[in-house]
Amino acid sequence: MIPGPVEISPTVLAATSVPPPGHTSTRLIEAFGGSIERMRQVWQADAASQPFLLAGSGTLAMEVAAANLVEPGDRALVINTGFFSERMAEILHRAGASVTELAPPLGEAPGTDQVREILRDGPFKALFATHVDTSTGVRIDPEPLCRLAREAGALAVFDGVCAAAGERFEMAAWGADLYFTGSQKALGLPPGLALMVAGERALAARAAGGPRRRRSTSTGTPGSPSIAPTRSASRPTSPPPPPRWSWPSKPGSARSWRRGSPPASPPMPGRRRP
């Protein structure tokens, strides 16, 4: 599959060529509700899950996942299979998480025993993995990662930007907690939408977050946690300097973010998402 945007069908193209409906029109409300239900079908999620459609790119979905599921100081495990796994780790680090990366040899996916061993060194708040990483083409198997995360009491979060609707993903059956993508890939839509489905555990973790999240729910629908990036007034408005990390001494070992030591190898090349 190409990184995208992909060609869109004549039906989709025709739908974008008509005058936009008003945001309170019956036609738009019905179409929006139908889209939410179809997302559950594509994700194979249950009725208790909550789909979200946001104006933005796949990177926005990554930011939303970090901002709503991880508090400063929480531990997060990132399965590093390429450029976009590294981007997820960077986003988590900037959100204040303590990030550990499991980095197999370039072009390979880690074994379940490796993941289980790292999770035993927990507790971890969440496990993050890229279903298919555009930069390397590596595809991981989400099912065992979901199982290992649940056994360790961690959330299972997946970047499906290069995989959703193109690779098999059974959110409810496998017990995944959050799966996100962009509209411009296998879904066959124009760029501009960040799409995600959150399971019950992800919604509960969001609702039980720290003060910065509890304050933000007041701007959303009463009784429903608002999945949106939030920023604490106590945090600096400018981002911290880019972190430096130490690479593992042997392929497949885990590494944790440590400031002050220069990287031993150049950044991984890869195509940036729009």
> In what order do the strands lie in the sheet containing 254-256?
50-55, 193-198, 178-182, 155-159, 126-130, 75-79, 98-102, 254-256
The pLDDT of residue 209 is 80
Mean per-residue pLDDT, 91-120: 95
Instruction: Give me the domain span that covers residue 121.
Output: 27-209+245-256
Mean per-residue pLDDT, 55-72: 96
59 in Cβ contact with 273 (< 8 Å) = yes
Q: Prior bond to 123 cis, omega within 30? A: yes
The answer as to whether 151 is a domain residue is yes
CA distance 169 to 179: 9
The answer as to whether 272 is a domain residue is no
Total domains in the fold of the chain: 1
The pLDDT of residue 212 is 55
The answer as to whether 61 is a domain residue is yes
Phi/psi for 85 (5° steps) reads -65, -40
Least confident of 33-37, 54-58, 211-215: 211-215
Tokens 């927990």 — which residue?
Answer: 122
The answer as to whether 12 is a domain residue is no
The pLDDT of residue 245 is 38
Q: Is 94 helix (H, G, I), strand (E, B) or coil?
A: helix
The answer as to whether 75 is a domain residue is yes
261 in Cβ contact with 244 (< 8 Å) = yes
Helices (H) and strands (E) in the chain, counts: 9, 8
Using 50, 70 and 90 to split pLDDT, how confident is the model at 122? confident
Alpha helix stretches (DSSP H) within 44-73: 58-69
Using 50, 70 and 90 to split pLDDT, how confident is the model at 2? low
Query: Which tokens go with 21?
Result: 């409906």
Mean per-residue pLDDT, 5-16: 89
The answer as to whether 70 is a domain residue is yes
Per-residue pLDDT reduced to its tens digit, 125-173: 999 999 999 899 999 999 999 999 999 999 999 999 999 999 999 999 9
Mean per-residue pLDDT, 32-38: 95
The answer as to whether 220 is a domain residue is no
The pLDDT of residue 7 is 87
CA distance 233 to 255: 31
Any idea what the CATH number is for the domain that residue 249 is in? 3.40.640.10
The answer as to whether 205 is a domain residue is yes
pTM: 0.78
36 in Cβ contact with 47 (< 8 Å) = no
Least confident of 12-16, 64-68, 82-86, 175-179: 12-16
E strands in the chain: 50-55, 75-79, 98-102, 126-130, 155-159, 178-182, 193-198, 254-256
The contacts of residue 149 (CB under 8 Å, 6+ apart) are 119, 126, 127, 155, 156, 177
CA distance 25 to 4: 32
Which of the two residues, 15 and 132, has the higher pLDDT score?
132
The pLDDT of residue 15 is 87
Which of the two residues, 49 and 222, has the higher pLDDT score?
49
Number of neighbours of residue 192 by Cβ within 10 angstroms = 14
The pLDDT of residue 213 is 57
Number of neighbours of residue 49 by Cβ within 10 angstroms = 22
